[in-house]
């Protein structure tokens, strides 16, 4: 299999800059592998939080060329084996592992003339209701976002270290959406019992990642005190982390680029369910390619938070529209998305 990894800069639409400290650009890696005249595509959205950069992802993928060139992929079992055997080449980059894993799934499904969902789950992907996220915003920005998201069924709001409820109450008044609140680890000094009760009154469904992962030992106490379910994001990165979740969190947010692709994400979703946990599939700022892989995982999770491509001004792939908060996957082949233009 031949490979070609390129990086592309992606930009959020103005209204949806990620946070007040507006990150105006991300640099993602797009991997193409080809054999037998078929091209499979994968993507990684490297995140500095996990010490990943586009440069290191590309470096590890190119360094793994001898491994990738030798791959012979004829079945899902071959993809699962490649996921394990490729790790010594790609470690410590789960993002690089994700890009390769997605490209192999896309390639094999295209070779078989089917969709990745059919290949992975034995059934076509159904449409998925997704949370759309509102970052920390000024009042005038909130007003614009409330208009943009009117009629959307699920809205996730970022919260700061003060757990200020004003923006949540503001959005509550303007939409009938189900809300969730993501603290991104900032609630070190917050009384979770009091705040979670207020949030429950505002119709919030769950809280995500109240404390930094370094404070996980406090989570059993917080979970017991909370009036709402608490989902892990940064505290649950890979498959091994799932086993630590019961008693600490009510569930967890799976991100393909954190765990190393579709292959482990599906295992995490199934294991979470076996453990009686709520599961969600989330995303970074990423193109419709990574989002399409998230939609496959969403077939097996309770919630989806897959607005990453919808937030972009310049999605380089097309074929997976998000309308009124609903992602409608195409029939394929592969992930069902193609280069735009």
Find the shortest distance in angstroms from Cβ 184 to Mg ion. Answer: 6
DSSP 3-state assignment of 279?
strand
Binning the chain into helix, strand and coil, the percentages to the nearest 5 are 40, 20, 40
CB nearer to Mg ion: pick between 32 and 182:
182
**Residue partners of 68: CB distance under 8 A and separation at least 6:** 1, 3, 33, 61, 86, 100
DSSP 3-state assignment of 132?
strand
Find the shortest distance in angstroms from Cβ 252 to Mg ion. Answer: 10
CB 262 within 8 A of CB 4: no
Find the shortest distance in angstroms from Cβ 133 to Mg ion. Answer: 8
CB nearer to Mg ion: pick between 1 and 280:
280
Residue 46: closest CA among 88, 103, 93, 4: 93
C-beta atoms surrounding 50 within 10 Å? 16
CB 157 within 8 A of CB 175: no
Distance from C-alpha of 71 to C-alpha of 128, rounded to nearest angstrom: 33
Residue 263 phi, psi dihedral angles, 5° rounding: -55, -55
Residue 127: closest CA among 318, 257, 8, 304: 304
CB 171 within 8 A of CB 147: no
CB nearer to Mg ion: pick between 103 and 236:
236
DSSP annotation of 106: H
Do you find a cis peptide bond into 144, omega within 30 degrees of 0? Answer: no
Find the shortest distance in angstroms from Cβ 56 to Mg ion. Answer: 22
Residues near Mg ion (CB under 5 A) are 182, 208, 233
DSSP 206-273: EEE--B-GGGGGGHHHHHHH-SS-EEESTT--SHHHHTT-TTT-SEEEE-HHHHTSHHHHHHHHHHHH
Find the shortest distance in angstroms from Cβ 208 to Mg ion. Answer: 5
DSSP annotation of 16: G
Q: Which residue is nearest to Mg ion (CB)?
A: 233
CB nearer to Mg ion: pick between 182 and 300:
182
CB nearer to Mg ion: pick between 90 and 290:
290
Find the shortest distance in angstroms from Cβ 115 to Mg ion. Answer: 28
Find the shortest distance in angstroms from Cβ 247 to Mg ion. Answer: 21
CB nearer to Mg ion: pick between 40 and 282:
282
CB nearer to Mg ion: pick between 45 and 115:
45
Find the shortest distance in angstroms from Cβ 236 to Mg ion. Answer: 10
Find the shortest distance in angstroms from Cβ 182 to Mg ion. Answer: 4
């Amino acid at each position: 299999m031949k490979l070609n990894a390129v990086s592309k800069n992606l930009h959020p639409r103005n209204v949806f800059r990620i946070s007040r400290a507006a990150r105006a650009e991300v640099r993602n890696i797009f991997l193409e592998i080809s054999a037998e005249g078929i091209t499979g595509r994968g993507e990684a959205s490297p995140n500095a939080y996990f010490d990943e950069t586009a440069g290191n992802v590309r470096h590890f993928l190119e360094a793994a060329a001898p491994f990738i060139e030798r791959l012979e992929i004829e079945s899902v079992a071959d993809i699962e084996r490649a996921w394990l055997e490729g790790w010594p080449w790609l470690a410590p980059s789960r993002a690089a592992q994700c890009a390769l894993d997605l490209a192999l799934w896309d390639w094999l499904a295209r070779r078989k003339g089917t969709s990745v969902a059919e290949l992975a789950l034995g059934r076509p992907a159904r449409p998925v209701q997704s949370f759309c996220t509102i970052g920390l915003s000024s009042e005038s920005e909130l007003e614009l976002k409330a208009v943009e998201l009117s009629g959307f069924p699920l809205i996730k709001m970022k919260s700061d270290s003060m757990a200020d409820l004003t923006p949540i109450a503001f959005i509550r008044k303007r939409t009938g959406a189900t809300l969730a609140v993501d603290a991104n680890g900032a609630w070190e000094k917050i009384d979770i019992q009091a705040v979670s009760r207020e949030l429950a009154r505002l119709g919030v469904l769950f809280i995500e990642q109240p404390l930094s992962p370094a404070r996980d030992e406090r989570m059993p106490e917080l979970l017991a005190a909370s009036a709402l379910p608490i989902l892990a994001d940064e505290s649950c990165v890979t498959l091994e982390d799932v086993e630590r979740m019961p008693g600490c969190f009510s569930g967890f947010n799976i991100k393909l680029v954190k765990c190393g692709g579709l292959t482990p994400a599906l295992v995490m979703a199934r294991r979470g369910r076996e453990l009686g946990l709520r599961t969600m599939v989330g995303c970074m700022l990423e193109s419709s390619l990574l989002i399409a892989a998230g939609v496959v995982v969403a077939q097996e999770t309770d919630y989806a938070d897959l607005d990453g491509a919808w937030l972009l001004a310049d999605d380089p792939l097309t074929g997976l529209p998000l309308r009124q908060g609903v992602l409608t996957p195409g029939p394929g082949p592969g992930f069902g998305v193609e280069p735009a233009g």
